[in-house]
Structure formats: structure tokens, C-alpha cells
Structure 1
């Protein structure tokens, strides 16, 4: 990784906000959290699962409809079942932090999302390693639509803290990686470059071939 890549990642880690709608996810990485994340009470066998097929390997997610019903329904109905994520990019990676995807084609053009949804970040789930959460505009809490990220580390700075404003409302966790975390780690470590509107994007494209329900 070049010096410019390192400085880009440092800038990302120094910014406490997430700004995904312009193609950028910028969030601050904090140390591991000692808190035990809240988990849904729904039996694992009844939770929906999806398989993310990437050019670096598969990643299987289990979703939490009991804790994030609107978010899971939006993800599945508006995007997964419509093939929305086919041939899209993992457009942002930061080692020991997160990888972000779900909004851009391989030509770096944005995909037209459906309507914004209300944030369910206050559902008790934490942004710990291996969880999946919705990206949103840092200044508007109810602005999530199609983009999502996978936490590579515990990121308590992204958790819900209060209802006072968007900065403290947090980012909605709606699932977790149950297979393929080694693929997530591999993606988070790829060499990056800074492109216009795309800082810390993989130098060689990491492509989501498809996301489909596996259960």
C-alpha cells in the first residue's frame, strides 16, 4: 500500500461520520468493545440467510428480522430479490475497520436506489466484528437505502447512543457473517487507491457477482 493509501486510511479513521451517498464511507475506528452485543431471540433456523458471491470468495449472512424488520425487508425485497446487487463493487475498504458495498456498478456509476427507510439503529444490536449494518448520510439518520457495510472490527463509535441527532443515533445492524469472515478479512487488506469521490477503494476491483437468498 502506498503512502497516499495510508494517509487516506488515516483520514478515514479520524472522521467520526459515515458519508456513503457520494461513494465514500468515512468513519472513525475505535478500540474493541468489551460490551456483549444484544442478539435477537428468534431461533437461528428461522432467520433468513443470504449468500454474497464475490470474486474473492463467498460470504454468508444471517439476517435479524426480529430486531430490524424494516431494514431486513428493505434489503431482501427491494434489492436482493430484484438482483440489484449483481455486478456491483465493494467500493471502500479499511483494514481493522470495515468494508462497504451496495451502491455502485463496476464502472463506478451509482445505482438508482429505492426509497430511504427509517433507521432502526436503536434496536440494541452493536457494530461488533462480523456484523452487517446499513450505510447512510452522516447528517440524516433516516437516509439508508441500498448501501451496507461489514464491520471488520468492533466499532462502538457507530453504535446508537442517543436520539438527539444523526451524529449520535448510530448505524443500524441487521445481520452478521456466519461463513466467510476470512473472505471479509482478505478484502479489507487489499491494496487501495484514491479515486475521485472514492477514497480507499480497492486498486483491483472487488466485485459482488450476486447476492441471493440461501434460506
Structure 2
């Protein structure tokens, strides 16, 4: 459950994603992830998401979009945005069912335009606060790990949640169960493209 600081704000920006399977409306939380929200809104305003697809869909995990067109050609992006998963956690925002978060590589600060919608509570994707010490123990996707602190910090940085689906969760649920396969060296690609036809800032 989100902290009051997030839940009580009345003026959160909202974004409509109109897809060929229905509309999804996302409420954004700039107090929990200011740089991430600013980054996402820039992509919305410049039309980046129009014509992109949900290119990675895993039932009971998440649906990911924002990087490729229907031919799975990668779209150019702006500079990367800093990871704000710790700040989001401090505001009570986690990778829970229906939340929207930034996709990235193993580098915590590598997010650009790709995002995903969690289709379950994904605790393993949240930032973890590590104990003191040069070598630390922590959980990594359900496994107990012991690593040097520098490596552990990267592995537990988390994925930044920055919004939540407030309308169209039934569309998300429809998308997560589409048939998928392999295409252009990528796994879990919908066999029939799920296309974002328009992305619009509502407020």
C-alpha cells in the first residue's frame, strides 16, 4: 500500500495509452520518482510511444513496452535516467500489481524509454536496503546471495516504479495472456502485435 504522501496528492499527471486491445490510463507520482516521471512525460509529449508495441509479455509477471515498433525495430532514445527505486520505496511505492516501472539493463542507471506494468506483486524488483559491511548478504530473486558491497548495490538497486494503472487494468490482463513466441532474437514476443496507437498526457 502506498504511503499517504503518494496516495493523498490530488494533482498527479495522468497518461492515456490507447492500444489496439483497449485503453490504459496511468497515474504518475512525481514526488516518488521525479526524474523518471519527467523522462516518461517527455517521451509521451514527443510522440515516441506512438506505434510502439508491447514486445515482452510474461503472464503473471509483467508486460513491457516503449522501445520497438511493430517490426521490432528499436526506436532512438534520449539519454538515460538515474535509478530512483530507493526514493520510490521511501515514498511507499513498490513494484506491486498494476504499478508501472522503468525497464533497464543490469546497469541500474540505464533506463531510457522502456517501461513495464507489473501483473502481480513483484517484490524481487524493489530496491533493497543492504546491511553494513564490505561483503553483504541479500536476497536476489528468491536466492540468498553473498557478494562484495559494490556488486550487491548494483544487484539490489531495484527497478523504479513511477505510476499506477488507474483505468484499463482489464486491458492489461488481456495483454498478459496473449500467445507469445520468439522473434528477432527476443523471447516472449506477442505473436500478434499489441500496439500503442497513441500516448497522451491527460493532466
Q: Same fold (TM over 0.5)?
A: yes
RMSD over aligned Cα atoms: 1.4
Q: 2:112 aligned with 1:145, yes or no?
A: yes
Aligned equivalent of 1:199: 187
**How far did 1:198 drift?**
1.6
Q: Name the structure 1 match of 2:125.
A: 158
Q: Give 1 or 2 for the bigger CA radius of gyration.
A: 2
1:82 aligned residue: 46
| TM superposition score normalised by structure 1 | 0.79
Pick from 20, 34, 46 the counterpart of residue 55 of structure 1. 20
1:67 aligns with 2:29: no
Given the superposition, is the C-alpha separation of residues 137 and 110 from structure 1 closer, same or farther in structure 2, using an over 3 Å criterion?
Answer: same
Is the alpha carbon distance of 1:166 and 1:197 closer, same or farther for their aligned partners in structure 2, counting shifts above 3 Å?
Answer: farther
Is 1:127–1:133's contact at 8 Å kept on the other side of the alignment?
A: yes
Quote the offset at 1:38 in angstroms. 3.9
Q: CA deviation at 1:162?
A: 3.4
Matches within 5 A, 1:1-215: 36-38=1-3, 40-41=5-6, 43-77=8-42, 79-123=43-87, 124=89, 125-138=93-106, 140-162=107-129, 164-215=152-203
Q: Is the 8 A contact 1:38 1:126 kept in 2?
A: no
* Distance (whole Å) between structure 2 residues aligned to residue 114 and residue 107 of structure 1: 21
TM-score when normalising by structure 2: 0.84
Residue-pair matches, total: 178
Q: Deviations over 1:194-214 (max 9, x none)?
A: 113220110100000011111
List gaps (5 residues or longer) in structure 2: 131-151
- Counterpart CA distance in 1 for 2:103 and 2:3 is 20
